[in-house]
Amino acid sequence: MTVPLQTIVFCLPAVIVFIVRRRQGLSWAEARRELGWKGASVRYLGLGLLLGVIPGVLLLPGAELIPSEVMDDPNIANARYAGWAATPTSFLLAFVYEAFYVALGEEVLFRGLIGGFLFRRLGFAAGNVLQALIFLLPHLLLLTVSTGLWPLLVSQLLGGWLNGWLLFKSESILPGWIAHSLANAFGAFLFMA
């Protein structure tokens, strides 16, 4: 198994902020809370599960909308799943991979660090829109593969906003991490045979 480099790189700024905030006198609990590094109620964990499953299930029938050149393009992250048998075990493996190699780092950086900072400075409405737009920026690279992927950008923006809302309501990145991991696993499932 390879090292989850993206997760490490995305988590590093939050770890640095955590250390700095501790040195500024915040308690462990306060510093973790600022970054969304705390547990969540069953209600919000369940909501995260729901927000990951519903869009994923709705996405499956739309697989034929993905341009065929995209399905074969090795520059698409989900191409790693091409040739996998579409089984429950494969879905579970994709979920675990996406959770630890992609979604965790993105939730720590975009929601916990950036979203948390923007919520405290701008309030929820403006802060959440701005963090969702910042989350969208690296995903714009999808357009370099195919302009036919623009509908995915809408789902990226909406997913970023919803995960920001989950953070704001639950004060934890865990519900968004679940939703994000599931959404990515369903996306991976589209590439499986």
Contacts of 131 (CB under 8 A, 6+ apart): 110, 111, 114, 115, 118, 119, 160, 164
Question: Do residues 153 and 26 lie in contact, with contact meaning Cβ atoms separated by under 8 Å?
Answer: no
Q: How do the domains of the chain map onto residue ranges?
A: 5-190
CA 4, CA 8: separation in Å to the nearest integer? 6
CA 63, CA 56: separation in Å to the nearest integer? 11
| pLDDT of amino acid 44 | 98
Residue type, 188: A
Question: Can you tell me whether residue 155 is helix, strand or coil?
Answer: helix
pLDDT digit string (tens) for the chain, length 193 residues: 699 999 999 999 999 999 999 999 999 999 999 999 999 999 999 999 999 998 877 777 766 667 777 777 787 888 899 889 999 999 999 999 999 999 999 999 999 999 999 999 999 999 999 999 999 999 999 888 888 888 888 889 999 999 999 999 999 999 999 999 999 999 899 888 7
| pLDDT of amino acid 63 | 67
Closest CA to 183 of 45, 79, 87, 52: 52
CA 56, CA 49: separation in Å to the nearest integer? 11
| pLDDT of amino acid 72 | 73
